[in-house]
Amino acid sequence: MASRMEKELAQLPDETRWALQRADGYMDLRMHSHARRELGTVAQEDRNNFAFRHCRLRLAIDEKDWQASRHLANALHGEAPDEPETWIELAYVARRTDGVDAARRILSRALCRFPSLAIIPFNLACYECQLGDIKQARLYLARAFELEPGYRRLALEDRDLEPLWGELEE
């Protein structure tokens, strides 16, 4: 099943899709000014598209523009609560603007909706670890590893989980 992002991206003219792909690539390379320039080439009539606004959210997060990030994350989540990415991004922004507990509350609700998505219990483990609930962090990590074994390697690189690193090494 295609995500909303994929569906809306497919509806855009080629030039806009290519601009978004280039912007995405520039963001991967941390070339934010180039990404911003690519987004600036998108026709005004395509700027309300979900895929365009999602790309803008990613840039705002990368640039740590938390006011713009909050606005975009709330809007995208409100429009697409069935898309797990909107929950994850909303929690990411909430962590930076409202604190770890606010992000934890968002993802706790998301876990009920998307129980088979490993990134959610993984991020919840990070939040619980930062809040000092190591026992709950272990439970969430176990669930994430069960869903996606490759997350064990990621856990050993995520500073939020540093209190658990000794337990995770094989």
Asked if 54 and 93 sit in the same domain, the reply is no
Asked if 56 and 135 sit in the same domain, the reply is no
Asked if 44 and 107 sit in the same domain, the reply is no
Write a three-state SS string for the chain.
CCCHHHHHHHHCCHHHHHHHHHHHHHHHCCCHHHHHHHHHCCCHHHCCCHHHHHHHHHHHHHCCCHHHHHHHHHHHHHHCCCCHHHHHHHHHHHHHHCCHHHHHHHHHHHHHHCCCCCHHHHHHHHHHHHHCCHHHHHHHHHHHHHHCCCHHHHHCCCHHHHHHHHHHCC
The reply to whether 27 falls in a domain is yes
The reply to whether 159 falls in a domain is yes
The reply to whether 69 falls in a domain is no
The reply to whether 33 falls in a domain is yes
* Domain region containing 39: 1-63
Question: Tens digit of pLDDT for each residue in 114-160?
Answer: 999 999 999 999 999 999 999 999 999 999 999 999 999 999 999 99
Asked if 94 and 162 sit in the same domain, the reply is yes
pLDDT score at 120: 98
What is the share, in percent, of the chain residues with pLDDT greater than 90? Answer: 91
CATH of the domain at 125: 1.25.40.10
pTM of the model: 0.89
The reply to whether 77 falls in a domain is no
The reply to whether 145 falls in a domain is yes
pLDDT score at 2: 62
Total structural domains within the chain: 2
